[in-house]
Structure 1
Amino acid sequence: MLDILTSFYGLIPVTIAQSLIVAFVVLGVMLPFRILNFPDLTSEGAFPLGGCVCGTLISMGVNPFLACGVALVCGFLAGCTTAFIHLRFKINTLLAGILVMTMLYSINLRIMGRTNIPLFTYDTVFTILAGPSANVPWVKILIVGALIALVVGLMLYFFMSEKGTSMRAVGASPDMAEAQGINVGIATIMGVGVASALSATGGSIMVQTQGFVDVNMGFGILINGLAALIIGEAVTGRQTILRQVMAPVVGSIVYYQLISFCLTLGLAPADLKFATGAFVLLMLALPNLRKSGSGTQIREKVRE
């Protein structure tokens, strides 16, 4: 048992750094899913898109900060495309996201020109800011943590503003929002676009952390993000906008600590996807199970 705890403790800095990067994706999942009531799968395509764009530009000698900015813009355009397809052609949000995600795979291959690119010999955001200490986990935590804190602060400021309130109104009731003079189409396109931009930003940071970019790097990231979001909401709640925005960050940290602990207990990495999917299914089904239980108790009381 002591060996397990020692191994788990040693992995904490690495998993915290990784979870803060994935928190960008979880924020990108939360924004359309909770704020706009727009179930979307584009994040699974935007995450590798950001990584492929950033990695390719860095390998061409482009400044890493500029490469991250271009990746963010590309992710934003991908999200806007999904929202536009839904609004213009009345295609289901999930199907629109699947279409864009599928097309992005070919686009990523075209951007890279091959399936993977090593980045070990190139400067990254971390080497520029931290120099020789770039690979120290706590240094990565400090850099990425500062960036995620900035993003969370900007999101809080926006959602408490008039335009942010309008976007939240679109998610609550599109018909009522339109009756109040809110442009539902623009709010939806901008919201989904920003969500995919966040996911692409996470991908651009991830490739600089792991030292390579792979076209398949986004496989399963959406289910991980959804699991982290559900955990975060269970911890922080959703009663206020502050709690809703903090839930992705808290949930991402807790989720990756749970994954790390499962690995130290001996769970095979190949089983993690199944375990994560089963957990998400359980958490989504739990409210209905509770309602069913409550209904049974009520019927029993009526019979008595």
Structure 2
Amino acid sequence: MLQIILGAISLGLLWAVMTIGVYITYRILDISDLSVEGSIAMGAAIAAFQIYNGMNPFVATLLATIGGMLAGLVTGLLHTRLKIPALLSGILTMISLYSINLRIMGKANVSLLRIDTVYTTFEKLGLSQSNSVMLFGFICAILIICILYWFFGTEIGCAIRATGNNVQMARAQGINTNNMITLGLVISNGLVALSGALIAQSQSFADVQMGIGSIVIGLASVIIGEVIFNSRNFFGRLISLILGAITYRIIIALVIRMGMPANDLRLFTAVTVAVALSLPTIKSSIAQWKNGKGNQ
């Protein structure tokens, strides 16, 4: 059982990077960005292909991040310059990335078995593969949170947050909201692609379909983090995203341990997200019912 939980924590730390990316669009920008499902597979595809062909794993991971940022740029330009709705822009990018990822890898999947990855450095220090993934994932997650906490406190970062809060008010303050939306999408998809690259290296393969359902996983982690580890300050909310991703992975590991078929996991995730999103409405209905009963 301990090994299962440790494995879930390791994987949760890698998915936490993607969760932070989803949070930027879903909560900060108030945009539903479906290009995430293509970006995470793109990050995995670029990293796996380059590492397979002999590139340094850290450089390959950086290239994967840049690839995701370019995907976010495309989504941003489709939405802000061509005036295509944000949801449809993400869908168009996601669909096109499927073919692009196939072009990058040259086939449906690439194996990284017995090939050095970013985790090999820690394995050479005597750590096990799972402990190496956990340590590197923890370092990445904390570093990203610190950088984002600083960035969103700068003038540009505050402009992005203002754009997400109230577009009209942000424009009245002289903020170029189109640029801020595009920049937010670039950062978000870059983090998602980074997560994909790290996940591919941890599982020793990249697959063109690994991004399917990832947006639901990201939303589930965001919602769980907000509901269970609710925090009033921005830094605390970023930390709650990591805890939410880890909690989600532990829940999945436990339900599999209890005998749930793997084919039902996405249904379970969808139901979890639906219940979590409807909690405020449910609580409000219960409160109104209690007040009505009390008045009688």
Specify if TM > 0.5.
Answer: yes
Deviation digits for residues 152-197 of structure 1 (CA, Å, limit 9, x no counterpart): 1001111122222111111111111111111111111111110000
Is the Cα contact below 8 Å between 1:227 and 1:279 reproduced in 2?
Answer: yes
Q: Tell me if 1:190 matches 2:209.
A: no
Question: Deviation digits for residues 255-288 of structure 1, max 9, x if unmatched?
Answer: 1111111111111111111111111111111212
Aligned mates of 2:230, 2:200 — CA distance in 1: 32
2:258 matched to 1:260?
no
1:37 is displaced (CA, Å) by 1.0
Alignment-derived partner of residue 213 in structure 1: 206
**Pairing of 1:98-137 with structure 2 (within 5 A):** 98-131=91-124, 133=126, 135-137=128-130
Q: Is the 8 A contact 1:52 1:213 kept in 2?
A: yes
- The answer to whether the 8 A contact 1:82-1:100 is kept is yes
Within the alignment, does 1:284 sit opposite 2:268 as a pair?
A: no
Match of 1:39 among 26, 32, 39: 32
Q: In 2, Cα distance between the equivalents of 1:198 and 1:143?
A: 15
Flag structure 2 segments of 5+ consecutive residues without an equivalent. Answer: none
Mapped contact 1:47–1:201 kept (Cα < 8 A): yes
Match of 2:263 in 1: 270
Which has the higher mean CA deviation after the structures are superposed, 258-267 or 19-28? 258-267
**What are the residue-to-residue correspondences of 1:58-97 with 2, within 5 Å?**
58-97=51-90
The secondary structure found in structure 2 opposite 1:125 is coil
Q: Secondary structure at the match of 2:206?
A: strand
| Corresponding residue of 1:236 | 229
Q: Once the 2 structures are TM-superposed, how far is the Cα of residue 300 of structure 1 from its aligned partner?
A: 5.0
Relative to structure 2, which stretch is displaced further, 206-215 or 237-246? 237-246
TM superposition score normalised by structure 1: 0.93
Any unmatched runs of 5+ in structure 1? 1-7
Aligned to 1:248: 241
Partner of 2:144: 151
Paired positions, count:
296
Identity level (%): 34
Partner of 2:218: 225
How big is the shift at 1:143?
A: 1.5
SS at match of 1:213: strand
Alignment of 1:15-34 (within 5 A): 15-34=8-27
Whole-angstrom distance in 1 between the partners of 2:168 and 2:200: 41
2 CA distance for matches of 1:135 and 1:194?
32
1:175 pairs with 2:168: yes
Instruction: Determine the structure 1 residue equivalent to 2:134.
Output: 141
CA distance in 2, matches of 1:215, 1:132: 32
Q: Give the TM-score taking structure 2 as reference length.
A: 0.95
**Partner residue in 2 for 1:3:** none
Instruction: Report the residue type matching 1:227 in the other structure.
Output: A
Q: Describe the superposition over 1:280-304 as per-residue Cα deviations: whole angstroms up to 9, x where unpaired.
A: 11111121222233344445556x4
Q: CA deviation at 1:112?
A: 0.7
Q: Is 1:165 paired with 2:181?
A: no
